[in-house]
Chain A
Amino acid sequence: MIRKILTRLLHLAVVLLGILFLSFLLIHMAPGNFLSQMAMNPQVSPEIIRRLNVLYGLDKPFYVQFLDWIGALFRGNLGYSFSYHVPVVQLLLSRIPLTLLLTASAVCLSWGVALPFAVYGASRPNGWLDRTLTGFSYLSISIPSFFLALLGVLLAGATGWFPIGGAHNVGGAESGGVAGWLDLLRHLTLPALTLALGSFGVLYRLMRSSVMEAESKPFFAAARARGLSPSILRYRYLFRNAVNPLITLFGMELGGLLSGAAFVEMVYGWPGMGRLMLHAVLTEDLYLVMGGILAGSAMLLLGNMLADGALYLLDPRIREEGSK
C-alpha cells in the first residue's frame, strides 16, 4: 500500500516538474523579456539594462534560471503582473476561488441530475425518457461551451431573468450577509447551468452503459433472486457498482470542464481564471499567463487526487487490494 502511494506520489512529482519545465520553456521562448520594454526607453541607458540583466540573473544559462525560478516558486513568488501591477500570486488567489465555485457547482448539478436519470433510463432502455435523454446527450456533447454560453446570454437578454457580467452587482460584494450570497447565486446560476448542460451528455451516456453492464453481473442476479425491492436494487446495488468508472473518468473529464469553464467565464464575464488568462494573453502579461497555466494544472491535479481518494473510499475492492 505504502509502496503504491509512493509510486503515485513519484509520478505526480514527475508530472509537476514537467509542467513547470514546459511553462518555463514557453516563457523563455517568448521574444524579449520584462526588460525589453525598458530597453526601448531612450532615457534608460544600455548600461543600466545590462546591470539589471545581471541583477535578475538573465545572463545565466537556461537551467540555472529554471532552478532559480523553481526556488522562487516555492517561496510563493510567481512574478509580477505588468498589466495589473500586482504580484501574480495575489491575482491568482483572488480568481481561483471563483473558478472553483463555478466548476464545483457545475459538477454537482450535472452529476446530481445525470446519474439518477441514467440509472432510471437504463432500467427502461429505449423508453421515451431514455430516448429523449439519449438524444439530448448527443446534443449536449456536440455543442461547444462558448456557443451554449452565447445562447445563454441571449436568453438572459431576452427574459431579463439573470444578470450578465461579473459575480456581484455593483456594491453587492460589500453588502455581505444573506443578500450578498443571494446576489452571488443569481450571477452564478446561468454560467453553472451552461457548464453543467455541456457535461450532462457524457455522464448520461457513460452511466447508462455502466449500469447496463452492472445489470448483467452475477451479484445483481443474486440480489434480485433474494427479492429486494426494485428501488433498493437500483440505487443501492447498481448505482454503487456502476459509478466507479465515472469517478475514474472524472479526472479526464475535469480537464475539459476547466477549459469549458474558461470559455463560459469569458462569455458571461464571470471574473475567474479563464477571463484572467485571456486578458493576460491579450496584454502579453507573460508571468500571469504562466501563473494561469500552473493554477489550471494545479486544479486539475487536485481534482484527480480527489477522484482517487473517492474511489478508495467508495470501492471496498480497491481498499482490499491496497491493504494486501
Chain B
Amino acid sequence: MKTKKTGVVFRRSRIPLTILLVFFVSGLFAEFLAPYRYDSVRFDLSYMPPVWPSVHRGRLEVPVMTLADPVLHHFRRVPGKWVPVRFFCRGERYRWMGLFSARHHLFCVGRPGRISLLGLDLLGRDLFSRLLYGVRFSFLLSFSAVSISFFVGVLAGLLAGTSGGWVDQLVMRVGEIFMAIPSLYLLMGIRAVFPPGLSTMEVTLIVTGALAFVGWAGLARVVRGVARSLREEEFVLAARSVGVSWWGIWIRHILPNMSYYLLVALTLSIPAFIVGEAGLSFLGLGVSEPHPSLGNILAESQSLPAMKAAPWLLLSGLVIVSIVIVFNLLGDQMRNSDDAGKRP
C-alpha cells in the first residue's frame, strides 16, 4: 500500500523531483562544479556580461574580453584572442565541504580568459559559481531551520493533541502568540537583539534559530488537529485496552499513522523557510558577505543602476522562485495522490 503510494508520487512528479535533484547535486558539489571560488574577485572585470564558450578552431573556446569603458561597464572582445575550455582540469584549490583538499574542477579556462556562464558581479566574482555555493548555503540553513522547527512543532502538536486539557490550552495559546506577530517583524526583532559585527557562522546560527523559533507554531497547530482526530480512532482504543502506555501509543501508533501527512506538511513548509532566509539575507540581516546565499546575491541588484548594468544578478531571484515552485508542486502532488492529506 505504502510503496504503491510512493511509486505514484515518484512517477507523477518526475519533473520537480529531477529539478530538485539538480539543485541538491549542484549544492553538494559546488566546489567541483564551480570554475571559481565564491570569493575570488577580479576588480578589473566588474559587471562583465555572460560570455559563453563556442566552437572555434575546431574546439570549445572562450573569447578573451577586455574592459572598454570602465564607467558604463562596456566590454569588448580582444580580436583573435581565445582560450580553450578544459574539462576535469586543475584550477583554484579548495576543500570539498571542508574535508578533502582538491584542485579539480568540472571545467575551467586558462588565463587571461575568464569563463562566465552567468556574468560577473560588481567585484568581478563569477555569478554561476556564487549561485552554486548560494544554493548550498540556503539549503543548509533552511533545512536545519525546518528540521528544528518540525521537531518542536510535532512534539508540541502531539502533546497538545493527545493530552488535551490545560496542556492543550497552554500549547495553543503560546502558539497563538507567535502567530499574532507578523513573522518578518518577529524575525527582525530577534535579529535586533544580537549585536552587529558577528561572524558569518554566528549570524547563520542565529538566523537558523530565529526561523525555527518563528515557524514551529503553524506546524504544531496542524499536527494537533491530526493527532486529535487520530486519538478517536479505534486502533488507539484497541491499543489502550491491551495496556499500551500513552507514550507507546504516541510513538508506535499515532506518529506512524500521520507520517505521510507530516511529510506533505514538511514539503509544503520548506518554501517559507527558503524565502525567509533569502529575505533576511536580502535585507542584510542574514548571511553576510563574502559568503553567498540566494538572498544576498539578489541584494547586490537592489539599486536601479546595478540592475541596468548587470541584469543577470536578478537570476538568483529566479533560482529562489524555481526552488519554491518545485517544492510547492511536489507537496501538492503528494497531497493529491493520497487522501491522508485531507484527513484533518
Q: Tell me the A residues contacting B by CB distance below 8 Å.
A: 11, 14-15, 18-19, 22-23, 26-27, 29-31, 138-139, 141-144, 146-147, 150-151, 153-154, 157, 164, 252, 255-256, 258-259, 262-263, 266-267, 274, 277-278, 280-282, 284, 286, 289-290, 292-293, 296-297, 299-301, 304
- Residues 18-47 of B contacting A (Cβ, < 8 Å): none
Q: Are B302 and A293 in contact (CB under 8 A)?
A: no
Majority SS of interface residues in chain B?
Answer: helix
Task: Bits for B293-314, please: 1 = Cβ < 8 Å to A, else 0.
Answer: 0000010011010011001001
Q: Are A286 and B192 in contact (CB under 8 A)?
A: yes
Question: In the docked arrangement, what's the CA distance between A71 and B232, Å?
Answer: 46
Q: Are A15 and B173 in contact (CB under 8 A)?
A: yes
- Residues 149-169 of B contacting A (Cβ, < 8 Å): none
Q: Are A143 and B182 in contact (CB under 8 A)?
A: no
Highest count of chain B CB atoms <10 Å: which of A138, A150, A292: A150
Q: Are A146 and B181 in contact (CB under 8 A)?
A: no
Q: Could you say which residues of chain B place their CB within 8 Å of the CB of A164?
A: 304
Majority SS of interface residues in chain A?
Answer: helix
Q: Could you say which residues of chain A place their CB within 8 Å of the CB of B282?
A: 146, 263
Q: Are A284 and B192 in contact (CB under 8 A)?
A: yes
Contact of A30 with B193 at beta-carbon distance under 8 Å, contacts A146-B279, A263-B184 already known: yes
Name which residue of chain A comes closest to B327, CB basis: A142
Q: Could you say which residues of chain B place their CB within 8 Å of the CB of A30?
A: 192-194
**How many cross-chain pairs have Cβ atoms below 8 Å apart between A and B?**
141
Q: Could you say which residues of chain A place their CB within 8 Å of the CB of B324?
A: 141-144
Q: Is B190 an interface residue (CB 8 A)?
A: yes
Question: In the docked arrangement, what's the CA distance between A31 and B198, Å?
Answer: 13
**A-B pairs with lowest CB-CB distance, top 4:** A18-B177, A259-B184, A296-B185, A147-B317
Other-chain contact of A15, B176, B185, B328 (Cβ < 8 Å): B176
Q: Could you say which residues of chain A place their CB within 8 Å of the CB of B320?
A: 144, 147
Question: In the docked arrangement, what's the CA distance between A296 and B317, Å?
Answer: 27
Q: Is B102 an interface residue (CB 8 A)?
A: no
On chain B, which size bracket covers the interface?
35 or more
Q: Are B325 and A142 in contact (CB under 8 A)?
A: yes
Task: Bits for B62-84, please: 1 = Cβ < 8 Å to A, else 0.
Answer: 00000000000000000000000
Q: Are B180 and A281 in contact (CB under 8 A)?
A: no
Q: Are A258 and B279 in contact (CB under 8 A)?
A: no
Q: Are A255 and B182 in contact (CB under 8 A)?
A: yes
Contact of A150 with B317 at beta-carbon distance under 8 Å, contacts A278-B188, A281-B285 already known: yes
Least CB distance, B313 to chain A, in whole angstroms: 10
Contact of A154 with B184 at beta-carbon distance under 8 Å, contacts A15-B177, A281-B191 already known: no
Contact of A29 with B180 at beta-carbon distance under 8 Å, contacts A150-B302, A258-B185 already known: no
Query: What would be 14 A-B contacts, judged by CB atoms less than 8 Å apart?
Result: A14-B176, A15-B180, A26-B190, A30-B192, A144-B275, A147-B298, A153-B307, A157-B307, A255-B180, A258-B184, A259-B182, A262-B184, A267-B302, A296-B181
Question: In the docked arrangement, what's the CA distance between A289 and B304, Å?
Answer: 29
Q: Could you say which residues of chain B place their CB within 8 Å of the CB of A290?
A: 189
Q: Is B340 an interface residue (CB 8 A)?
A: no
Other-chain contact of A297, B182, B188, B278, B321 (Cβ < 8 Å): B182
Other-chain contact of A19, B180, B190, B271 (Cβ < 8 Å): B180
Other-chain contact of B192, A138, A141, A256, A280 (Cβ < 8 Å): A280
Task: Bits for B1-30, please: 1 = Cβ < 8 Å to A, else 0.
Answer: 000000000000000000000000000000
Q: Are A150 and B301 in contact (CB under 8 A)?
A: yes
Other-chain contact of A300, B182, B192, B311 (Cβ < 8 Å): B182
Least CB distance, A81 to chain B, in whole angstroms: 13
Contact of A255 with B192 at beta-carbon distance under 8 Å, contacts A18-B173, A141-B328, A147-B317 already known: no
Contact of A31 with B195 at beta-carbon distance under 8 Å, contacts A147-B298, A300-B181 already known: yes
Q: Are B321 and A144 in contact (CB under 8 A)?
A: yes
Q: Is B284 an interface residue (CB 8 A)?
A: yes
Other-chain contact of A255, B183, B275, B321 (Cβ < 8 Å): B183
Q: Could you say which residues of chain A place their CB within 8 Å of the CB of B60?
A: none
Task: Bits for B268-299, please: 1 = Cβ < 8 Å to A, else 0.
Answer: 00010001001100111100000000000010
Contact of A258 with B182 at beta-carbon distance under 8 Å, contacts A15-B173, A157-B307 already known: yes
Q: Are B189 and A23 in contact (CB under 8 A)?
A: yes
